[in-house]
Structure 1
């Protein structure tokens, strides 16, 4: 059985590979490995997300939810060097790679933090490469290619753990989801669960993916 990338402690051999990718118009050299999401390339859904979302604010507190080896976190850090960028994942190898890739590319504003298997932030971090996310942290911006394949119930729990952390009066999230993996049904579900203080809509479609926008108004 192929190990899923959402394992907290990957059992597969840690075989590092070096990639050169273009993020926010900049060439970045990164390391990837087995047992992390899209460990051999920049995922197509992530590419769609990074190409279609609006430019982030120049500063603020941002979140990469389900960071993998860190392309979204690096993109946020490149675009907004004055922002605090938090990259969270359950996978310790992914977090180690994200922290190392941020350091390699001069992104001192990226902070890696581990979550538990439900997606909730851990109050204490065991890995040296990780930092503890403040329990009351809220976010101006969330970008995510969420782990759809963890299953609907786990995905819903994950999203409802983090989307309510958007800051009132304008905090915004962009999620990229394949159309054939339930993107269109996720939009009304999120709108119903989040309630009247949020607007949820399809922001863009490309290459079989939907980019979903979630805005917290109050």
Structure 2
């Protein structure tokens, strides 16, 4: 990529940690600062840039489907590849910064560790699928498992295929994230999300300013 290429920032987090809200607040802030044209926002699974990736998203989240964890890993990787080809790579090459709600860390955690497919197996699948495209930074919203369940129960009605309100599951989820982060600590900034949404937003803005995205 050219020297002009933008930065690729990924936001990961425990369920209920405020990712979606913070990303919307970021969009609003960038509009206020007249900087929104310098950014592209995306989320996984699926892609605003690919109807095929959105079809894969619907397959993954459909409660009627019963895929193995390996099939899930492959579907996420296929959706991720489409999102890169149609959205992320062109944006970065044109000098725009990309902020993504989830990326391959989620696959390492959910399918690799929790699903039992294997960390190294899922890592290999994604390195191939993405041409080993790594984010410049991954911001992880850490949240106590009990708080995850409390927030999810309050916010959501019917859970999709990948959601649960089992607190033990969220203890395993948090441990899995910590395992992935420990494997490559330099790529992550961990934020304590046991705070108000305003405080959390300030923490995110501080990080983005430090890496000169804002």
Asked if TM exceeds 0.5, the reply is no
Instruction: Identify, as 1 or 2, the structure richer in strand.
Output: 1
Name the TM-score class by shorter chain: 0.3 to 0.5
Normalised by the length of structure 2, the TM-score is 0.35
Normalised by the length of structure 1, the TM-score is 0.35
Instruction: Identify, as 1 or 2, the structure richer in helix.
Output: 2
Relative CO higher for 1 or 2, CA cutoff 8 Å, sep ≥ 6?
A: 2
